Amino acid sequence: MGNLEYKVLVGLEIHVQLCTQTKMFCGCALSFAEEPNSRVCPVCLGMPGSLPVMNKQAVEFAILAGMALNCQIAQFTKWDRKSYYYPDLPKNYQISQYDLPLAINGYIEIPTDNGIKKIRIIRAHLEEDAGKNLHTAGNFSLVDLNRAGTPLLEIVTEPDMNSAIEVRALAEELQRIVRYLGVSEADMQKGHMRFEPNVNLVITRAGQEFKTPIVEVKNLNSFKALENSINYEIGRQLDRFNETGEVMEMGNKSTRGWDDAKEVTVLQREKEEAHDYRYFPDPDLVPVETNEDWLIPIQERLCELPLKKRLRYVKEYGLSDYDAGVLTSERATADFFENAVKSGGEPKRVCNLLTQYFQKRANERGCNLTELGVKPQQVAALAKMLEKEEISATAAAAISDAVVLSEDLDPGKYAQEHNLLQKSDAGELEAIVEEVIKANPQAVEDFKAGGKKSGKAKGFLLGQVMQKTKGRANPKVAAEILDRKLA
Amino acid sequence: MNQLSAKELRDKIKAGEIKSVEATKAVFERIAKVEPTVGAYISIFEEQALAKAAQVDKRIAGGEKVGELAGLPVAVKDNMCTTFGTTTCASKILANFHAPYNATVVEKLLSSDAIIAGKTNLDEFAMGSSTENSGLKRTVNPWDIERVPGGSSGGSAAGLAAGLCFAALGSDTGGSIRLPASFCGVVGLKPTYGRVSRYGLVAYGSSLDQIGPVTQTVEDCALMMNVIAGYDPADSTSVDEKTAPLCDYLAKLDEPVKGLKIGIAPKFNAGADEQVRKAIDEAINTYRNLGAAIIEIDMPHFDYAIAAYYMVATAEASSNLSRYDGVHYGHRTRNPNDYIEVYTKSRAEGFGKEVKRRIMLGTYALSSGYYDAYYLKALKVRNLIRGDFVSVFEKCDCIMMPVSPTTAFKMGEKLDDPLKMYLSDIYTIAVNLAGIPGISIPCGFDDKNLPIGLQILAPAFGEENLLRIARMYEKQTDWHRKRPNLNG
Ligand SMILES: [Zn+2]
């Protein structure tokens, strides 16, 4: 059948768990891995007579995220009940937003090999999460409602992504954004982000275009599963088209699950069931009106987003894209970096200190770079000493270790007290070089002879200089003196 | 003692003239005598009530401060959650349900030192006009035990009329306080939607439900409102006191409303039985003699109220009642084959006929393809009805009309004809759709010695005026002092 030309189309539905103090409609604290049914109350248990009360913080978090995703924030929005029966849904309806979502018509920018790409966002709305069914070996299931009522932001994109890599890029970018905004911990292990891609292909054969039926892959909660499931679907849909020629029609959208062990998607529902969720406005809640007095302070909490920051670091500071990516992956790291630069540290040197010394220390301690107890001013001071060649790289490492142990430490003072300042004073170094030359005639001879042995001999002589100065000689200055003396 | 109003008894208890324990004992003696006939209560709390009464007495004797309802035996409709006893909604599906929390109104009764004597019968989940839809118990009308007490707060009204408590709480979704109050010859107020917290009231039609007092007198009604009215942060639909300030409903109760203008709609009243109509006309005459002006009004959309109501209420009910599924609490079927059967069989076994009918009706109204034609249209009609009231209240202070076209009907008379039953609420339903307050006060008897109720409606949050207007009539008449002659 030959090679087919095809284009991949992927749209994403993403559920992001917001890190509010309390659940969406009651006063219970959010929960992870607590004793089952220990974080519940009459409201999130759906007890008779209980009533929901909107969590304002959740709405503000959602608005902030909506703003960061360049959405229009609705001036008027409301809560709707979505009805379906499932044991983990205590009221047998979920409070969600149907026809008037909180945010619409936005976009998110993602990095691709061909530069920045805009992915359109259709809508973002708030809803409450369900509990969890725990299937046991016996003839029954147990239900844990700790998660019931946890606020979720559901984000729906247009099918603007054309590869699994782009989908992953979006997912990772979104993770960084919500973390930057402080609206979600976006911890994949804890299920804070769940993805449902809609995948199909546009195949060109003999000048004609064919669209394969859309497949929705349910409930993916890792970047890897997201990427792999899409790649698997691309292959599977191509094969199926070649076998059957089946194309997209009304009602032939299907739902598949991801088998992590076998790395395949598995059919869940053949045909899109005519789900009737019987949406209607929740009479227990009042509509939400957003006005400027409310929105402006939220807008002020917006910050420079990670991708913008990353591009700026490359452009403004001349950092490599890789380093810029590392520094901007978390807001706290980026803020730390910028504060160190503001305190006079040369950006590249600050970047090197952070990514080389301090990141390692943080990794060793299993903490974040910003949790090391180091101050940006200390890093800036180190960077300045390096720039002025007052200290060697080795000394910088030693001082860094000391800084990690004491946050009040002044790197300059410490260098002085511990004799770590480099000897760049030509006069003093000349004397030492002179001594070394006298003491090592054989090496001098080798050096002068040129050829293979020469480089080795020079290294040896410089090593001697370093030894005599206990590593404090500025290697550049020492080499210059040596060159001059033996010329 | 059983002849005293709640306010009178409360005053005597506070003054130390009567002990709460005596009053409470008297109530339980009366219950022992006539409750087997009346069937007002689903549960009674004699021991707990007497203990609390003794405690209140002790505090009064010790000169301590006590609450507004100190020592007063009251009853609560069994669709309000209490941590003590069961909260059944008169449904088999909740027959053994113990609520883990108290409804806000229950908390308010307790903190104002009321004695909760028991929880009263109702139509299952408050769906009905006769209390015959109770899945657990039969309540009769104390004025004629062959007849219904009205519904759905039939237990509260019948119990009060029979002297089984001094005041009670009911809930009103389409007339469920006013209709039984009228049938049983007592006072019943449906407050403005949002005036009383619904937290802990088991929902039927959430946008229509409102808790209110069922009392012997208008004065008792004002006393109860002083306790239960007010904003509740746990109920997002309760109205904050800045938007609608609270007041002491007793403070100006005895001041007649000057220059009172009463709206009447003869066109509607014409639909009532002749004897009902006559009683209403006479009541309006009483007001005329007190100097009130009578104005004829028109409410062009009133005729559509019942249709709109049965769409809105049942749609909300179908969703509200979906939680009774046998999974988390309440009745669960024995030996289900799979989890789908847990739902289908538990619900089929637990719900009564009328509840099933309304769930199906509401589910249909919300289904895709029908939503616009039914639910959305009903909401539009609702807005038109609201508009009718707003324009009418520009011309008058209140509207007067019957509560029901008839007096109490016979048991079983309308049970097999739901449409006929629904028409009992023809005068009360529009009030819930509009969210305004309405009161039913006794205004006479028909030739079968069955009570007739006068309904008075006021603008939203106009309870203070409404009670004053009702009180003007109460002071001129003795209807509220009449008691049914029950054996015992
Ligand atoms: Zn809760």
Query: Residue B192 is part of a domain; what is its CATH number?
Result: 3.90.1300.10
Tell whether the model's pLDDT for residue A424 goes beyond 70: no
Q: Supply the DSSP symbol for A190.
A: G
- Element of type H or E holding A348: helix A347-352
Alpha-carbon distance A280 to nearest alpha carbon in chain B (angstroms): 7
Distance, in Å, from the CA atom of B473 to the CA atom of B450, rounded to the nearest integer, reads 19
The closest CB to that of A286, out of B201, B237, B363, belongs to B237
Backbone phi, psi, residue A397, to 5° = -65, -45
Distance, in Å, from the CA atom of B406 to the CA atom of B429, rounded to the nearest integer, reads 15
Mean pLDDT, chain A, integer: 92
Interface check for A221 against chain B (CB to CB < 8 A): the answer is: no
- Asked if residue B90 is part of any domain, the answer here is yes
Distance, in Å, from the CA atom of A457 to the CA atom of A463, rounded to the nearest integer, reads 10
Dump pLDDT digits (tens) for B224-234.
999 999 999 99
The closest CB to that of B236, out of A46, A51, A81, belongs to A51
How many Å lie between the centroid of ligand 1 and the Cα of residue A45?
A: 7
Dump pLDDT digits (tens) for B143-200.
999 999 999 999 999 999 999 999 999 999 999 999 999 999 999 999 999 999 999 9
Q: Which residue of A lies nearest to B324 if distances are taken between CA atoms?
A: A91
Q: Which residues contact B29 (CB under 8 A, 6 or more apart)?
A: none
Distance, in Å, from the CA atom of A142 to the CA atom of A146, rounded to the nearest integer, reads 12
Query: How is residue B122 written in tokens?
Result: 């109702």
Task: Annotate B31-55 with DSSP letters as a single string.
Answer: HHHHHHHH--EEEE-HHHHHHHHHH
Q: Supply the DSSP symbol for A29.
A: B
Contact call for B319 and A81, based on CB within 8 A: yes
- Asked if residue B148 is part of any domain, the answer here is yes
Query: How is residue A258 written in tokens?
Result: 């991801």
Q: Which domain holds residue B126?
A: 6-263+393-481
Cβ contacts (< 8 Å) between B338 and chain A: which residues? none
Distance, in Å, from the CA atom of B315 to the CA atom of B310, rounded to the nearest integer, reads 8
- Asked if residue B150 is part of any domain, the answer here is yes
Interface check for A52 against chain B (CB to CB < 8 A): the answer is: yes
Query: How is residue A348 written in tokens?
Result: 């590249």
Dump pLDDT digits (tens) for A284-327.
999 999 999 999 999 999 999 999 999 999 999 999 999 999 99
The closest CB to that of B325, out of A81, A85, A279, belongs to A85
Contact call for B325 and A285, based on CB within 8 A: no
The closest CB to that of A49, out of B202, B236, B324, belongs to B202
Contact call for B81 and A83, based on CB within 8 A: no
- Element of type H or E holding B418: helix B418-422
Window 62-121 of A, Cβ < 8 Å to B:
81, 83, 85, 87, 90-93
Residue type at position B469: I
- Asked if residue B180 is part of any domain, the answer here is yes
The closest CB to that of B103, out of A46, A49, A87, belongs to A49
Banded model confidence at residue A274, pLDDT cuts 50, 70, 90: low
Interface check for A143 against chain B (CB to CB < 8 A): the answer is: yes
Banded model confidence at residue A227, pLDDT cuts 50, 70, 90: very high
Specify the length of chain A in residues. 487
Q: Please give the share of chain A, as a percent, with pLDDT higher than 90.
A: 68
Cβ contacts (< 8 Å) between B203 and chain A: which residues? 48-49, 284
Residue A273 is predicted with a pLDDT of: 63
Cβ contacts (< 8 Å) between A54 and chain B: which residues? 236
Q: Which residues of B touch A (CB under 8 A)?
A: 79-81, 87, 89, 94, 97, 99-101, 103, 198-203, 205-207, 233-237, 315-316, 318-319, 322-325, 327-329, 339, 343, 363, 366-368, 371, 375
How many other C-beta atoms lie within 10 A of the C-beta of residue A201? 22
Which ipTM value was assigned to this complex?
A: 0.96
Interface check for A51 against chain B (CB to CB < 8 A): the answer is: yes
Q: Averaged over A16-22, what is the pLDDT? A: 98
How many other C-beta atoms lie within 10 A of the C-beta of residue A47? 23
Contact call for A48 and B233, based on CB within 8 A: no
Cβ contacts (< 8 Å) between A83 and chain B: which residues? 319, 322, 366
Block residue for tokens 């039926």: A213
Tell whether the model's pLDDT for residue A2 goes beyond 60: no
Residue A1 is predicted with a pLDDT of: 47
Q: Averaged over A146-157, what is the pLDDT? A: 98
Closest CA to B400 of B350, B450, B329, B452: B452
The ranges of chain B with pLDDT < 70 are 1, 487-488
Helix (H, G, I), strand (E, B) or coil at A426: helix
- Asked if residue B333 is part of any domain, the answer here is no
Give the alpha-carbon dihedral of B156, B158, B164, B167, to 10 degrees.
40
Query: Contact at 8 Å (CB) between A465 and A458?
Result: no
The closest CB to that of A283, out of B94, B206, B363, belongs to B206
Task: Annotate A38-74 with DSSP letters as a single string.
Answer: -S--TTTTT-TT------HHHHHHHHHHHHHTTPEEP
Backbone phi, psi, residue B468, to 5° = -65, -40
Contact call for B203 and A52, based on CB within 8 A: no
How many other C-beta atoms lie within 10 A of the C-beta of residue A406? 12
Distance, in Å, from the CA atom of A313 to the CA atom of A308, rounded to the nearest integer, reads 9
How many Å lie between the centroid of ligand 1 and the Cα of residue A26?
A: 5
Distance, in Å, from the CA atom of A56 to the CA atom of A60, rounded to the nearest integer, reads 6
Cis bond before residue B152 (omega within 30° of 0): yes
Residues of B designated as active site: 77, 152, 176
Contact call for B101 and A51, based on CB within 8 A: no
- Asked if residue B147 is part of any domain, the answer here is yes
Residue A3 is predicted with a pLDDT of: 67
Q: Averaged over A133-160, what is the pLDDT? A: 92
Window 4-43 of A, Cβ < 8 Å to B:
42
How many Å lie between the centroid of ligand 1 and the Cα of residue A41?
A: 4
Which of A251-255, A401-405, B424-428 shows the lowest per-residue confidence on average (mean pLDDT)? A401-405
Query: Contact at 8 Å (CB) between A120 and A158?
Result: yes
If one counts the domains in chain B, the total is 1
Residue B424 is predicted with a pLDDT of: 85
pTM value is 0.92
Specify the length of chain B in residues. 488
Residue B243 is predicted with a pLDDT of: 92
Phi-psi region of A306 (alpha: psi -120 to 50; beta: other; left: phi over 0): alpha
- Element of type H or E holding B293: strand B293-296
Q: Domain A426-486 falls in which CATH fold? A: Arc Repressor Mutant, subunit A (1.10.10)
Q: Where in chain A is the domain with CATH 1.10.10.410?
A: 426-486
Alpha-carbon distance B145 to nearest alpha carbon in chain A (angstroms): 32
